[in-house]
């Protein structure tokens, strides 16, 4: 052949590598930096069937787990009336002078950064509404363009975006739901939550969020003493349970004290279960194969190192239980001191 030996050193990539590169490029992940993970979905929304099922806590701790793996994470807080991510992630918002504080509404009109940096991990930044009220939510400033501007500006600076979906009727919340690549639902087994699932899924469909990108469910804030036929309920809607975390005073007290629940050294089985749930989410988002998932408690770095034997390490067995606050006043004081 005329080509001779010109192509004797040419090697074709494996089909899996080619497809992975294409998926990374289509999600925008390949334009940021090389990572040891295949991130096919870069904008992830967490949406509870109703308020109060632990969505914000799940988002904040997932961000902390991803940051421990070296990823740059942006957290979008969609609530105008009761934003929580600046508090949960202890950002530097309150450290800024009042004239330097900017938020969602200032994206297109300021050269200042609209992101608040977490003091718990500098690889985490938060975009939120700050010092807003009902007048802002009903104003003409609430537009879907804010979300498009935020995503186009921030996506190239981070590896993954997590969205804390609220239940406020705003254009920003609706646009976040529509523009996310994947939506992780949060269900509890409270009767009013279970009864609202069909309406919740219908409303998401009305907002142009197809069920196909909402296939994964976290059962959160559940009362595990109440028998619930999760398999039957999930099969009814052709959904998959991604992880589980029950209702727990230990978790509530840790959050009230301003602690990161994920990877919190504690003998509490509830806190260990919560950490495992976060790990399941991280494995899913980073496309870590099932054979590397652990059934017990382990750290984020263990995922990278493959050290997942499903048992508690000696140092955790020897730990004292996490010191809890006994009153709401003590929890409030500890949170104020920490923040």
Half-sphere exposure of 52 (CA within 13 A, CB side): 5
The pLDDT of residue 231 is 93
* Cα 214 to Cα 194: distance, rounded to the nearest angstrom: 17
Question: Residue 24, SS3?
Answer: helix
Name residue, tokens 């052709």. 238
The pLDDT of residue 242 is 95
Q: Which domains does the chain have, with CATH numbers?
A: 36-338 (3.40.50.300)
Q: Are 287 and 40 in contact (CB under 8 A)?
A: yes
Q: Are 83 and 170 in contact (CB under 8 A)?
A: no
CA dihedral over 240, 242, 248, 254, signed as positive or negative: negative
The pLDDT of residue 120 is 94
The pLDDT of residue 287 is 86
Angle (nearest 5°) at CA 37 between 35 and 38: 110
Name residue, tokens 């993970």. 37
The token duo for 138 is 């009903």
pTM of the model: 0.79
Q: In order along the chain (339 residues), what is the average pLDDT of each group of 10 residues?
A: 52 66 59 70 96 95 94 96 94 84 87 91 95 90 93 92 96 96 96 94 93 95 91 94 93 88 88 92 84 46 51 45 57 59
The pLDDT of residue 84 is 94
The pLDDT of residue 27 is 56
């Amino acid at each position: 052949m005329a080509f001779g030996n010109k192509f004797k050193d040419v090697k074709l990539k494996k089909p899996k590598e080619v497809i992975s590169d294409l998926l990374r490029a289509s999600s925008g992940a390949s334009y940021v930096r090389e990572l040891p993970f295949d991130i096919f979905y870069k904008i992830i929304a967490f949406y509870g069937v109703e308020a109060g099922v632990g969505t914000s806590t799940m988002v904040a701790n997932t961000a902390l787990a991803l940051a421990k793996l070296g990823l740059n994470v942006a957290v979008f807080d969609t609530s105008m009336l009761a934003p929580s991510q600046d508090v949960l992630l202890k950002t530097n918002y309150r450290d800024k002078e009042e004239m330097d504080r900017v938020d969602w509404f200032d994206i297109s009109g300021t050269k200042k950064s609209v992101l608040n940096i977490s003091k718990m991990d500098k690889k985490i930044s938060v975009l939120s509404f700050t010092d807003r009220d009902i007048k802002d939510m009903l104003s003409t400033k609430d537009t879907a363009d804010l979300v498009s501007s935020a995503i186009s500006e921030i996506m190239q600076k981070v590896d993954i975006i997590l969205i804390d979906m609220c239940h406020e009727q705003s254009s920003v919340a609706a646009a976040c739901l529509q523009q996310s690549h994947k939506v992780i639902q949060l269900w509890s087994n409270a009767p009013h939550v279970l009864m609202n699932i069909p309406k919740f899924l219908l409303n998401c469909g009305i907002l142009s969020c197809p069920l196909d990108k909402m296939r994964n469910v976290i059962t959160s804030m559940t009362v595990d003493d109440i028998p619930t036929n999760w398999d039957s309920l999930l099969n009814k809607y052709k959904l998959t349970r991604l992880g589980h975390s029950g209702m727990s005073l230990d978790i509530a007290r840790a959050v009230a004290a301003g602690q990161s629940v994920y990877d919190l050294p504690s003998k509490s089985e509830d806190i260990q279960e919560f950490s495992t749930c976060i790990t399941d989410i991280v494995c899913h988002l980073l496309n870590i194969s099932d054979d590397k998932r652990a059934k017990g408690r382990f750290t984020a770095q263990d995922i990278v190192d493959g050290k997942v034997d499903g048992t508690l390490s000696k140092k955790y067995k020897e730990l004292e239980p996490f010191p809890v606050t006994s009153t709401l006043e003590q929890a409030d004081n500890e949170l104020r001191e920490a923040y």
